């Protein structure tokens, strides 16, 4: 019988292999067919050109259309789906550990609603797509910053004060978004705002993926390095302080990192729900409650899950179904199942 460490290691290997298969398999999904051999050649040629700084240019055994589909359309979108799925999942797992509450999601402190208001305001002002992304990112950060400072002046318990402040700030930004939708042009701006709020990767370009990559990496790397300390946040304040952990600083570090990745992901993809809430629960069922395993597992599983959902969104209808709708259809029933059956509690 496998020992627990070996069992968890085997599961990590399977999860990593599944991520690789889904990542490369996603290039083959779409209305324009790209043969697998052509896909390999195009990607390999791109890697060779990057490594040699364009000094070596392999012979093109593919059409210009195939190269454009792989490199300009599918690569940015697939990479962005993986980034956003990983970001929302790691943020959700970190928030759940910090607040000691499995019902917490990445938008608890208002990052998603703040980003939604920023995007709606940018669309109202006729900003470019990249301008909308910047506005969404900035307002997502502003919402959490405001919630944090409001909680600092609260006389309530620090955690409770932060949650209540986040709910209040989120409500204010939601009201602001509703007002923007009310005054927006019903022929052009209102449909664009509504579609953005549903969550989609349709318009993602390489520049948007690179924009999201930097803050997501800046936020995710510290969470990976601090993942063993996140275990200590699940203890009581007295227990954590008794072993020399400054819980206030650790909590602030988690908030900053989780906010960065959440705001960046929402800025490029819109509001995609359930990923940061449900994926950590699946990971607990497979890898237990130790955040040293849970956070890396959430990154891999979240990235894989959102790539699969995005593939379905691309082919399920003649148009394109927003990802936020699909994640709700999948996430809500699964979460109800976890509630009824006890879910991860059986793994304790």
Residue 344: band (very low, low, confident or very high) from pLDDT cuts 50, 70, 90: very low
The pLDDT value recorded for residue 232 is: 80
Distance from C-alpha of 27 to C-alpha of 23, rounded to nearest angstrom: 7
Q: Is the pLDDT of residue 348 over 70?
A: no
pLDDT digits 0-9 by tens, 137-148: 999 999 999 998
Residue position matching structure tokens 């510290």: 222
Closest residue by Cα to residue 283 from 8, 45, 6, 1:
8
Q: Considering the domain boundaries, does residue 242 fall inside one?
A: yes
Counts of helices then strands in the chain (DSSP H, E)? 15, 0
Count of domains observed in the chain: 1
Q: Considering the domain boundaries, does residue 216 fall inside one?
A: yes
Burial 192-215 (b: 16+ CB within 10 A, else e): bbebbbbbbbeebbeebbebbeeb
The pLDDT value recorded for residue 346 is: 46
Q: Is the pLDDT of residue 7 over 80?
A: yes
DSSP string, 230-255: HHHHTS-HHHHHHTT--HHHHHHHHH
Distance from C-alpha of 279 to C-alpha of 109, rounded to nearest angstrom: 19
Distance from C-alpha of 50 to C-alpha of 246, rounded to nearest angstrom: 44
| Phi and psi based region of residue 342 (left: phi greater than 0; alpha: psi -120 to 50; beta: remaining) | left
Q: Is the pLDDT of residue 173 over 70?
A: yes
Distance from C-alpha of 102 to C-alpha of 325, rounded to nearest angstrom: 22
The average confidence (pLDDT) of the chain is 88
Which alpha helices (DSSP H) does 26-74 contain, by range?
36-51, 64-68
**C-alpha to C-alpha distances, 114 to 6, 143, 148, nearest whole angstrom:** 43, 5, 14
DSSP string, 91-114: HHHHHHHHHT-TT--TTTTSHHHH
**Parent domain of 203:** 4-30+63-347
CATH number of residue 341's parent domain: 1.10.3470.10
Closest residue by Cα to residue 266 from 73, 93, 133, 109:
133
Kindly report the number of other CB atoms within 10 A of residue 296's CB atom.
20
Kindly tell me the sign of the dihedral angle through the C-alpha atoms of 177, 273, 223, 220. negative
Residue 101: band (very low, low, confident or very high) from pLDDT cuts 50, 70, 90: confident
Kindly report the number of other CB atoms within 10 A of residue 238's CB atom.
8
Q: Considering the domain boundaries, does residue 45 fall inside one?
A: no
Q: Considering the domain boundaries, does residue 76 fall inside one?
A: yes
SS3 label, residue 28: helix
Q: Considering the domain boundaries, does residue 277 fall inside one?
A: yes
Q: Considering the domain boundaries, does residue 341 fall inside one?
A: yes
Average the pLDDT over 92-106 and give the result: 86
The answer to whether the pTM exceeds 0.85 is: yes
Average the pLDDT over 149-173 and give the result: 85
Q: Considering the domain boundaries, does residue 44 fall inside one?
A: no
Q: Considering the domain boundaries, does residue 109 fall inside one?
A: yes
Distance from C-alpha of 321 to C-alpha of 323, rounded to nearest angstrom: 6
Q: Is the pLDDT of residue 257 over 70?
A: yes
**Distance between alpha carbon 159 and the CA centroid of its chain, in Å?**
23
Identify whether the C-beta of residue 267 lies closer than 8 Å to the C-beta of residue 136: yes
pLDDT digits 0-9 by tens, 19-59: 999 999 999 998 888 999 999 999 999 999 888 878 787 87
Average the pLDDT over 229-253 and give the result: 77
pLDDT digits 0-9 by tens, 184-230: 999 889 999 998 998 889 888 889 999 999 999 999 999 999 888 88
């Amino acid at each position: 019988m496998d020992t627990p460490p070996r069992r968890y290691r085997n599961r990590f290997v399977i999860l990593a292999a599944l991520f690789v298969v889904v990542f490369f398999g996603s290039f083959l999904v779409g209305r324009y067919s790209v043969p697998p051999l052509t896909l390999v050649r195009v990607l390999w040629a791109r890697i060779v050109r990057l490594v040699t700084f364009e000094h070596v240019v392999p012979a093109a055994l593919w059409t210009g259309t195939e190269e454009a589909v792989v490199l300009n359309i599918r690569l940015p979108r697939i990479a962005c789906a993986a980034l956003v799925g990983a970001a929302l999942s790691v943020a959700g797992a970190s928030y759940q550990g910090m607040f000691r509450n499995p019902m917490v999601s990445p938008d608890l402190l208002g990052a998603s609603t703040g980003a939604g208001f920023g995007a709606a305001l940018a669309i109202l002002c006729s900003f470019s797509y990249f301008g909308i992304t910047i506005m969404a990112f900035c307002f997502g950060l502003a919402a959490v910053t405001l919630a944090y400072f409001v909680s600092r002046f609260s006389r309530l318990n620090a955690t409770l004060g932060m949650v209540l402040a986040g709910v209040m700030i989120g409500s204010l930004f939601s009201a602001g978004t509703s007002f923007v939708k009310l005054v927006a042009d019903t022929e052009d701006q209102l449909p664009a705002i509504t579609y953005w709020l549903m969550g989609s990767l349709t318009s993602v370009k390489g520049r948007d993926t690179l924009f999201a990559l930097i803050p997501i990496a800046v936020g995710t790397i510290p969470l990976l390095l601090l993942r063993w300390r996140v275990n200590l946040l699940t203890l009581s304040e007295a227990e954590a302080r008794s072993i020399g952990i400054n819980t206030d600083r650790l909590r602030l570090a988690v908030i900053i990192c989780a906010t960065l990745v959440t705001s960046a992901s929402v800025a490029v993809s819109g509001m995609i729900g359930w990923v940061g809430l449900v994926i950590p629960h699946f990971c607990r069922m497979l890898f237990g409650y130790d955040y040293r395993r849970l956070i890396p597992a959430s990154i891999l599983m979240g990235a894989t899950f959102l790539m699969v959902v995005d593939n379905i969104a691309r082919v399920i209808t003649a148009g394109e179904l927003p990802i936020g709708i699909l994640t709700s259809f999948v996430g809500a029933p699964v979460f109800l199942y976890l509630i009824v059956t006890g879910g991860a509690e059986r793994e304790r």
